Amino acid sequence: MNTPLSRTRREIEGLSIIVTGAGRGIGRATAELLAAEGATVALGDLDATLVQGVADRIGHGAVGAHLDVTSSDSWAEFLAAVGEVGPIDVLVNNAGIMPLGSVLMEPEAVARAIIDVNVHGIINGTKAVAPGMADRGHGHIVNVASAVGRIAVAHGATYSASKFAAVGFSEATRTELKPLGIDVSVVLPTVVQTELAAGVPAARGVKPVTAQEVAEVIASAIRRPRAELWVPQWVQGMTRTTSLLPRFLQEAMAKAFKADSVLSDADQSARSAYEARVRPPAG
């Protein structure tokens, strides 16, 4: 999975890059790192004031604008607003939400919001930006998914489904867009120390990673495109090995490492502010 898609090393300096969900967490860390390495970065986020402030602090020609990734019209408006960064070389589809809870108690509006942001957001971004890349004969799309896009976890069923979809979409578009000169990578972090994962414990033996560490992996993917990158990388090997075992052994290992309960064991008081922000209002 980590075989380079291209053997040619690409320099980040001079590239024009879009990062979605760039007002906070992984998106913000990624935009800051890429700008520091010489890229011209366009930051999109639902919170226009926040993301414009982040872009101002980054400097280096960075621009920020409102972007609702669930809306194709919003994508068109965003691209017009950040047109000064020039033709887009790289799109980092990072925006995502993670409301947690039992699927039997999950309101329909919450399920729809998760799918809209985490799945339609990536699809809309690809459809908005990839045509220009195809016209120029080169480009790179980096989709930020999650380890639960390969390992489903209870009390985050819809979130797991959305990330499985992100992985599947990445794999399909990688094949479809390659003849057009467009690389597609997918990044799968474990628990990341951001607001999205507030109160979520890591599996036993798997230390939480930082947004900066994920940003560094995204930057490495841009320099040398690869199909699939995990953060931390060693978890990928363990996951592959475990998937070959009989189901009862997989379940026993998940229980031993507490991987099966990381979401159900989340500290709800620590998550209250985040959950209130990303959940649609009760109808």
Q: What are the catalytic residues?
A: 159
Alpha carbon 130 to chain centroid distance?
Answer: 17
Quick one: 28 exposed, middle or buried, by C-beta within 10 A (0-12, 13-18, 19+)? buried
Under 8 Å between Cβ of 73 and 124: no
Element (H, E) at 231: strand 228-231
Quick one: 237 exposed, middle or buried, by C-beta within 10 A (0-12, 13-18, 19+)? exposed
Helix, strand or coil for residue 178? Answer: helix
Region for residue 59 given its phi and psi (left: phi exceeds 0; alpha: psi -120 to 50; beta: otherwise):
left
Which DSSP string corresponds to 102-168?
A: -GGG--HHHHHHHHIIIIIHHHHHHHHHHHHHHHHT-EEEEEE--GGGTS--TT-HHHHHHHHHHHH
